[in-house]
Every structure is written in C-alpha cells, then in structure tokens.
Amino acid sequence: MMKKYKIAAIPADGVGVEVIDAGLEVLHAIEKRDGRFECEVEKFNWGSQLYRQTGEMMPTDGVQQLRSFDAILFGAVGAPDIADHITLWGLRLAICQTLDQYANVRPTRILPGIQSPLRNVDGNMLDWVILRENSEGEYSGQGGRTHKGLPEELATEVSIFTRAGITRIMRYGFELAQSRPRKLLTVVTKSNAQRHGMVLWDEIAAEVAEEYPDVTWDKMLVDAMTVRMTLDPASLDTIVATNLHADILSDLAAALAGSIGIAPTANINPQRAFPSMFEPIHGSAFDITGKGVANPTGTFWSIVMMLAHLGEQEASERLMSAIEHMTAQPGCRTPDLGGSANTADVTKAVVDALR
Ligand code: NAI
Ligand code: MG
C-alpha cells in the first residue's frame, strides 16, 4: 500500500527559497525511486515579504495550520531590511516553541570528498551529534526593556531552566548516545560562572545518567569544549548543550566539517503530538542570494532526517548514500567548498545518483 505524507514547505527568505526548491526536487526523486510512499507538499509563502505587506511573518493562525502535517521542511529566515529578532521570533522560534519541538538534533560528519579545515581529520575522526535544548534556557524570550532611550535604560534577558525541561532533554541525549555505537555522551555546561541554572543542569544530568548505566558520559565547560572540538575531535560522539551553547557549538561543528552549507538539523517533538521541523542550519545568506550558488546539501541531509523520522528508513539511507556519492565528486563543489558548481549541478548529481 502506498503511504502518504503531508509535508509543509516553508522556504521563507533569501537562499532558503533556492535550497528548498532543490530539496523538493530531491524529495520527489527519492519518492519515485522508492515507490512505496508519496509526499504531498504544500508550500507556505511566509517570511519577510509577507511581513513587509502585512506586518506579520505568518498569519495569526499559522502554527495552527501546520498541526495537521506529518512534517515541516523549513528554509531560512532573515532579511537585510528587517531586524533579525523580528524575523526569527516571528517565524522559526514561534513554530519551534508552539509545536514543542524541544529536541534539536544536529549531526556533524565530514562527508566523503569534503576537506575539513582541521589538518589530517576525516570522517572517521569527526562524527558527532549535537543535541540542542530547543525550548527554554537562554532563548526562552523572558525579559524586557524599560526607560527606553534614557541614560538609565535597562534590558534583561532571563534564562529559564526547569527540572522538566532539563530532564526531558537529558533523557533524549542519553537515549541518542545509547543508539550510537560508542554510547558516549558529553554534557556541556558553564556551572562555574552560571551558578544557578547550570548547576541544576549538572545535577539533573547526573540523576538521569543513573537510568542509562551503559552510556559513558562526561561533563565539559563550554569554553573548554571549543578547544576539545578543535584539537581532539575523535574524543567526542554525542553532545548535549543548552539552547545558546549548542547554537554556537553547532556552527563551529559545521565549519569543522567543511561548510555551514552542509549541516542539517531536526527540531523534534519526541512525543509526536505535533509535527517536527527539518532545516539546514544556515541562515538566509543574503550575500549569495539570487546567484544560484547556495549549497543545498544541508537541506538534502535534513530530508534524510525527515524520512527517518517518518519511518522511511530505507529511503533515508538511500538518500544519504546519494549525497555522499555526490560530495565525493570533485566537480560537485559549490563556492563555499572552494569549487565552481552551482545549486542545480549539485541537485542534478544527487537526483542522478538516486536513479
Ligand atoms: P548565514 O548562515 O545566512 O550566512 C553565513 C555565511 O555562510 C555567509 O557567508 C553565507 O554566504 C554562507 N552560507 C550560508 N548558507 C550557505 C549555503 N547554503 N551555501 C553556501 N554558503 C552559505 O548567517 P548570517 O549571515 O549570520 O545571517 C544572515 C541572516 O540569516 C540573518 O538575518 C540571520 O538572522 C538569519 N539566520 C537565520 C537562521 C534560520 O533561519 N534558521 C539561522 C542563522 C541565521
Ligand atoms: Mg545558529
């Protein structure tokens, strides 16, 4: 029987539009190759253009409209003429928080043919999954500003750490580590300087660790973590960190694995009460928008994660192999990887590999 999935596509801004077009081409190719499922894709024209027309990044009932989908494929938001906190909170964070996509999973690996800026490091030595707490912490949106424009103007940006929020992300982290061959988890913290929230974070990590005796785990201060990622990448496997810490570490990870254009991410609602959302980690990249040279690999890899989440394991693995087949070809490097291929060349190479 043919399975059917309803996919919401939100290309949004800048290169988001280009990489989602490429991604949908690849999605339809894998669907055809597999022959056992069909994706019915609905596109939403939300984003900065809509904001310029209506003052809103998406309609008031936008998130409600997404609830009936099986998964969401997201491009990127951000425009040079609109403040970043408006575009980000108006669309991406509004979706993640309302659909309780609290686990943000970010695999990082050096794909075949891709050169890491780290000397002598390849895919055997750098194979990580970073798990980002995606619903609270430093990006909970708590705070305010008073006395605007006056010398005594002040602003607060309050981090929120809850027992429930930390416990669920730690469990997800230990389970993710348990599902990987090395069963190794590093808990990133900053409890030396942040002596309330991060201390609770550490305590709950230790409590949850007792439920997973087969997982080896350690704790690392976030600043020292940047050094370890750079100098001893093979000592890491699964990593769990707060919303802010993981945001920064995963950009570093993406760069160490060759380019921010390759890295994927999944915003998961583990209970499956709401659809999960899949997206490349990069932003709208206005510096290259419209040139047709955006690297779509991060979007393709996000589709790999989406297919796995939907239960299409075989199609997911087949698509990953096609991506690796593409990256191994010297002619398939976009400018971010030092080559001169464009988005269409890379997309065609993956589609051809799937046939
Ligand atoms: P960015 O990720 O858009 O760009 C950083 C650098 O990476 C640029 O040089 C860009 O050309 C390059 N790059 C990004 N994606 C690429 C791709 N697919 N292929 C080749 N090169 C690529 O980050 P930036 O410049 O800090 O932010 C631009 C806008 O994007 C801002 O408005 C920001 O708020 C937004 N943003 C949105 C995100 C999202 O929607 N999830 C994430 C990060 C930033
Ligand atoms: Mg980021």
Q: What's the number of domains the chain is made of?
A: 2
The answer for residues whose C-beta is within 8 angstroms of residue 108's C-beta and 6 or more apart is 126, 127, 128, 129, 130, 250, 253, 254, 256, 257, 263
Please tell me whether residues 31 and 152 are part of one structural domain: no
The answer, yes or no, to whether any atom of ligand 1 lies below 6 A from the CB of 260, is yes
Residue 144 within any structural domain of the chain: yes
H/E element holding 17?
helix 15-34
d(CA 351, CA 97): 34
pLDDT tens-digit readout, 139-193:
999 999 999 999 999 999 999 999 999 999 999 999 999 999 999 999 999 999 9
The residue out of 257, 285, 315 marking a domain boundary is: 257
Please tell me whether residues 4 and 46 are part of one structural domain: yes
d(CA 179, CA 182): 9
The answer, yes or no, to whether any atom of ligand 1 lies below 6 A from the CB of 333, is no
The residue out of 257, 289, 319 marking a domain boundary is: 257
Interior CA angle at 204 toward 279 and 218, to 5°? 75
Please tell me whether residues 124 and 51 are part of one structural domain: no
Residue 110 within any structural domain of the chain: no
Please tell me whether residues 297 and 241 are part of one structural domain: no
Closest ligand, as measured to the CA of 77 = 1
Please tell me whether residues 265 and 252 are part of one structural domain: no
Span from the CA of 298 to the centroid of ligand 1 (angstroms): 12
Specify the DSSP class assigned to residue 336.
G
d(CA 355, CA 348): 11
Please tell me whether residues 286 and 306 are part of one structural domain: yes
User: What is the average pLDDT across 210-221?
Assistant: 98
Residue 155, helix vs strand vs coil: strand
Residue 336 within any structural domain of the chain: yes
Residues, beta carbon < 5 Å, ion ligand 2: 247
Please tell me whether residues 182 and 269 are part of one structural domain: no
Owning domain of residue 189: 116-257
The CATH code of the domain that includes 100 is: 3.40.718.10
pLDDT tens-digit readout, 102-134:
999 999 999 999 999 999 898 889 999 999 999
The residue out of 225, 257, 289 marking a domain boundary is: 257
